[in-house]
Amino acid sequence: MNLLLPFGRAFGIPINLHYSLSLIVPFLAWRLANDFFPTRYEGWTQISYWLTGFVAVGALFVSILLHELAHSLVARLRGYTVDEITLFVLGGVSSITSETRRAQDEFIISVVGPLTSLGLGLVFWVFYSVTSQTNHPIAALIFYLALINIVLTVFNILPAFPLDGGRVLRSAIWALTGSFVRATNISTRISQVIGTVLVLIGVLEVSQGFILQGVWTGVIGVFVYISATRIRREEPI
């Protein structure tokens, strides 16, 4: 990660913002202010849509930060050193000094992130159930946070690196085979297949006129494929 902006510390862990956030934050706020919120909540002023959009994006990255903090704090409890947390265009990453030493450690450290996102989604959904009949920006914000945290949960449990699901998959294979190297070999191959499928889905979406959605799906697919390939090269397979 280059071009990082130090943002502060949480529990002594440095938090960095990647420059790519300067591109994704305005874009997401624009989509929320001109599509997501107006479609579901009518009659607001334009400034209300935009303010709610920017607040929602900020809250989204706070949710991602909490997800990464869960990884980092559990890693610390398991005896690992956490260098930093970085938020970037595709989410966040916790930089843990070394690879996990045991399959159990990798499973616990990996699964706690999606569980945190799921917990946040369910809590916000409870609040939304109380405010669902209200045409107010706060109610809209709660709905968005409930929805986006559940989406983050589902996305992160995909069995593909560098997502949490990829590491959960590796930990399971590692536990079954007793071999970290073999588990990495199998899980990265699966990740490359999933990355390729995502790229193909993105191409299909673009061909059907869903250009932004297709490009985004394709970018994620490329990111997954490249990450899995890098991990394969780093391990003595």
Asked whether the beta carbons of 219 and 201 are under 8 A apart, the reply is: no
- DSSP of 129-151, one letter per residue? HHHTT--SHHHHHHHHHHHHHHH
Between CA 16 and CA 83 the distance in angstroms is: 11
Ramachandran sector of residue 204 (left: φ over 0; alpha: ψ -120 to 50; beta: rest): alpha
**Strand blocks (E) in 29-156:** 82-88, 91-96
Between CA 198 and CA 185 the distance in angstroms is: 20
Number of Cβ atoms within 10 Å of the Cβ of 50: 17
43 closest CA partner among 166, 168, 135, 161: 135
What positions carry a catalytic annotation?
Answer: 68
Beta strands 82-88; 13-18: pairing state: parallel
Q: Which amino acid is at 107?
A: F
Q: Which amino acid is at 197?
A: V
